[in-house]
Structure 1
Amino acid sequence: MRIHTCYFCSSPVYPGHGMAFVRNDSKVFRFCRSKCHRNFNRKRNPRKVKWTKAFRKAAGKEMALDTTFDFEKIRNRAVKYDRDLVGATLHAMARVQQIKEKREAAFYKNRMKDSKAKQKARDIAELEQNISLIKPDIVFAKERAQLNAEDVERQTNVVGGDEGMEMDE
């Protein structure tokens, strides 16, 4: 069973799913869904459409070069069934997946480290520009004290005041 990749977004296309467009020169374009097919027909570049894997790799958001990608190459050679070979292949696939996940996690962590520093620099620049919008803690303390004093005064007026009807003399 061969799992193809979508020509536009690079997601897997399983047997019986998606659609294929065959050009006059016998080049086959496989699409996972109509969204990808429509974008292909509109001649959109997958590297400029932000939700595709091609964009993420071109923008440096995902790993583009790694030795684990070599294991995903299409091989058109039929191999005679060998139980030991299948077992070894499945074991190797699991190991390659573990290595790939570790490298992706390290890549993401390294990428976020840089973005965190940039965000901190942007925040500091914004603070320096709009420092007048931030009130110091002393101002907040004075406002709280004033509000508390007003609440106490209001409560004493209610408790100590005349609650009966006033009569004119």
Structure 2
Amino acid sequence: MVLKTELCRFSGAKIYPGKGIRFVRGDSQVFLFASSKCKRYFHNRLKPAKLTWTAVYRKQHKKDIHDETATVLPPYTRKLTEVDRWCTLKSSGKEDQRSLRFGMQPEKQPCGSSLSQLQAF
């Protein structure tokens, strides 16, 4: 079942059926208020834009930024770099346990330090 909610004419709050205060002005204009506080401020002619708890103030001062879809960040993408893992493991003194466990032998390529030694000859 869908409930028809209305908005308070002063604060901008949602008003569910059976709640709120309805005021009809002399020119037959209908105002619906969420609470007696909203009704009192309306009749005292206070501006909702000057009260920090109203929706008008929050919209003017950009307080509800998380509701706007314009400021969505782009998805995080990872930059891939190519690394010779066997060379780095060999130079650090560790063996690739996973490849040895499954019987796979990685291609043995000379590391950067041994490559410079080979080029020296």
TM-score, reference length from structure 1: 0.37
Equivalent residue for 1:52, pick from 51, 54, 62: 54
Shift of 1:2: 2.4
Q: Indicate the residue corresponding to 1:20 in structure 2.
A: 22
Equivalent residue for 2:34, pick from 18, 32, 35: 32
Q: Which has the higher helix share?
A: 1
Question: 1:95-150: per-residue Cα shift (whole Å, max 9, x none)?
Answer: xxxxx95728x47x9xxxxxxxxxxxxxxxxxxxxxxxxxxxxxxxxxxxxxxxxx
- Percent identical: 37
Q: Indicate the residue corresponding to 2:4 in structure 1.
A: 2
Question: 1:15-66: per-residue Cα shift (whole Å, max 9, x none)?
Answer: 1101011011111110011111111111100011111010011112236xxx
What are the equivalent positions in structure 2 for 1:36-115 lying under 5 Å apart? Answer: 36-62=38-64, 101=67, 103=69, 106=71
Supply the AA of the counterpart residue of 1:22: V
Q: Distance in 1 between matches of 2:47 and 2:67?
A: 28
**RMSD (Å), alpha carbons:** 2.5
TM-score, reference length from structure 2: 0.51
- Distance change >3 Å, CA 102–CA 40, structure 1 → 2: closer
